[in-house]
């Protein structure tokens, strides 16, 4: 398996875990909707299609 692919997979897993953690923390303050919406817009811009 190509080394670059392994690195990307690990980074994706860390990123997803980080987003979930932040989402839970922000969710307790009641402002999760805006932040998560911004995150999803950001990722939509990153990924074509």
As for how many domains the chain has, the answer is: 1
The answer to whether 19 touches 39, Cβ cutoff 8 Å, is yes
The whole-angstrom distance between residue 32's C-alpha and the CA centroid of its chain comes to: 14
pLDDT at 6: 92
pLDDT at 7: 93
pLDDT at 33: 60
From CA 42, how far away is CA 49, in angstroms rounded?
13
Q: What does the pLDDT look like over 1-49, one tens digit per residue?
A: 678 899 999 999 999 999 888 877 766 655 556 766 777 788 888 777 5
The single residue listed with the structure tokens 């911004």 is 38
pLDDT at 28: 61
pLDDT at 8: 93
Domain limits at 11? 3-46
pLDDT at 37: 76
């Amino acid at each position: 398996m190509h080394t670059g692919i392994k690195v990307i997979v690990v980074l994706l897993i860390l990123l997803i875990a980080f987003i979930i953690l932040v989402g839970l923390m922000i969710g307790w303050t009641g402002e999760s909707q805006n932040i998560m919406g911004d995150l999803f817009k950001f990722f939509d811009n990153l990924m074509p299609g």
